[in-house]
Amino acid sequence: MGRCRWQRHVAAWVLVAFAAVALAWAAEEAAPRFLEKEGRPAVARQRKFPWLPVLLGAGAAAALVLVLAKRKEETLTVDLRVGVAGTPAATAKYRKGSTVCYEYSLKDGFGSLQVLLDGRPAPASGRVVMDGPHALVASAGKEQVLAVSLGAGTAGTPAASASYPRGQVVPYSYRSTAGGPVYVRLDGVLVAAGGSVTMDRDHALAASSSGSAASYAGGVLTVNGIRYELALVPAGEFIMGTDSPEADKDEKPAHRVRISRPFRLGRTEVTQELWQAVMGSNPSKFPRGGRYPVEEVVWDDTQAFIRSLNQMLGRDAFRLPSEAEWELAARAGTTADRYGEAGDIAWYLDNSGGQTHPVGQKRPNAIGLFDVLGNVWEWCQDCWGSYMDEYQVDPVLPCPDGRRSGYMYRGGSWETPFVRLSLRDCNHFNIGPPRVSVGFRLAASD
């Protein structure tokens, strides 16, 4: 930047020198002349007023003021991405009409430097005339790994693991050589057999022709030999919430709700073995596998699981229950705070030992649902909201503020000191890491 503005500084000093010379000339011309006459100094007649040097000096001073005067400023927005070094390194204002030099280079380990000036490709070094606002973006590509795993009976491209520049879009397409279905997972999530991957980080693609067998009929889901049962919940009316003085404000008031259609709800929470069969991973804080409930999953994780499962089945069979559906099924006809003694029906703070437990060990409710209280909280469809003291049919609390309210979960967990059917909580503002005590169970609209 300094190299581009030296001309203005030189011009300013030249004008200063010129003005000084002109003023000295004017002073010399205007000064009276002293002569010796008969041994005594005498003053000669004063010359005419020195208009020329005065005008030259005034002109130089005016030009100096114009050169040094503060002009209108324009903003140069600078976006310096990871892997790039150089100047200018930050957004700043410059005088309108000035010229700003820039120069960028790559740090070690990065490649394919790209500089954009106002969205258009530009050289790695150059100049920007600040005739208006401008924007510089300097980014560095870094190679990212796309790990590819092709199972027996599959073919397609890319066929092997490789490295690609950061930001590159890599197309992929796989098929079954036997003519059957092919199942493709991107970072453990089931995706279409053909598509593309943006290499913003390391990714993994896996294709299989037989490793994702899933079926669902009569309330029984089977994925790769893992069985998950869902109980039929009849339509009906019930009292949702409570007016108990021991309950929290958001559990009140008690109000009548009608669920107009029967549905199915998992007899247990989704287990780690079922999650692994669908997603190929285990996000749980207590990763014991088997019949332990999956936990430490956020609401969006449950949606990814459900999408993958439904894609495996070829239809939209599963979803999360609404809050009202969950409480209808959990109560199973009771109007009490719970359907039995706390220690008989739930893993909670007093008996959990600070951890989750395999599902199905406690006494179920009247329709055969296990662990609806305790063990892990269970995600629902609804966003957070207060109850209304009025009759409702199939209520689902929407998210009018773009999900900032947070989604609801119900039932309590291994770390909850209370065991009651009206207990509810939410992930306020959908921020922060997933809670180790939150899981979910599947619902189906049979």
The whole-number pLDDT of residue 136 equals 93
The pLDDT of 429-444, averaged and rounded, is 77
Smallest Cα–Cα separation from 340: which of 238, 326, 348? 348
Structure tokens at 290: 């088997």
**pLDDT tens string 335-365:** 999 999 999 999 999 999 999 999 999 999 9
Pairing of strands 134-141, 73-80: parallel
Give the percent of the chain with pLDDT over 90: 51
Let me know: does 413 contact 433? Beta carbons within 8 Å. Answer: no
Minimum mean pLDDT among 15-19, 44-48, 225-229, 362-366: which range? 44-48
Q: Residues 137, 148: one domain? A: no
The whole-number pLDDT of residue 164 equals 83
Let me know: does 209 contact 180? Beta carbons within 8 Å. Answer: yes
Greatest pairwise CA separation for the chain in angstroms = 139
Tell me how far apart the alpha carbons of residues 121 and 138 are, in angstroms, rounded to a whole number.
Answer: 10
Q: Residues 294, 391: one domain? A: yes
- Which of 68, 93, 122 delimits the end of a domain? 68
Smallest Cα–Cα separation from 374: which of 391, 361, 388, 383? 361
Q: Residues 171, 273: one domain? A: no
Let me know: does 207 contact 151? Beta carbons within 8 Å. Answer: yes
Structure tokens at 66: 């114009």
Q: Residues 41, 167: one domain? A: no
CATH of the domain at 227: 3.90.1580.10
More confident site: 23 or 275: 275
Pairing of strands 443-444, 263-266: antiparallel
Is residue 393 classed as helix, strand or coil in its secondary structure? strand
Q: Residues 398, 346: one domain? A: yes
Q: Residues 391, 274: one domain? A: yes
Q: Residues 108, 172: one domain? A: no
Inter-CA distances, 436 with 187, 232, 298, 401, 439, Å:
22, 29, 10, 26, 8
Let me know: does 144 contact 201? Beta carbons within 8 Å. Answer: yes
Q: Residues 29, 128: one domain? A: no
- Consecutive H or E run containing 195: strand 194-198
Q: Residues 7, 63: one domain? A: yes
Q: Residues 286, 353: one domain? A: yes
pTM of the model: 0.59
Tell me how far apart the alpha carbons of residues 211 and 243 are, in angstroms, rounded to a whole number.
Answer: 50
Structure tokens at 182: 């092919």
The whole-number pLDDT of residue 139 equals 84
Q: Residues 56, 131: one domain? A: no
Structure tokens at 44: 């000669």
**pLDDT tens string 276-330:** 988 878 999 999 999 999 999 989 899 989 998 988 888 899 999 999 999 999 9
Q: How many domains does the chain have?
A: 4
Question: Average per-residue pLDDT in the chain?
Answer: 84
- Which of 208, 241, 257 delimits the end of a domain? 208
The whole-number pLDDT of residue 351 equals 97
**pLDDT tens string 212-236:** 578 899 999 999 889 999 999 999 9
The whole-number pLDDT of residue 187 equals 82
Q: Residues 89, 108: one domain? A: yes
**pLDDT tens string 384-436:** 888 989 999 999 988 766 555 689 999 999 999 999 999 999 875 555 556 67
**90-104, 134-148, 179-193: range with highest mean pLDDT:** 90-104
Q: Show the domain range for 37.
A: 3-68
The whole-number pLDDT of residue 23 equals 66
Whether the predicted pLDDT of 2 surpasses 50: no
- Which of 170, 188, 208 delimits the end of a domain? 208
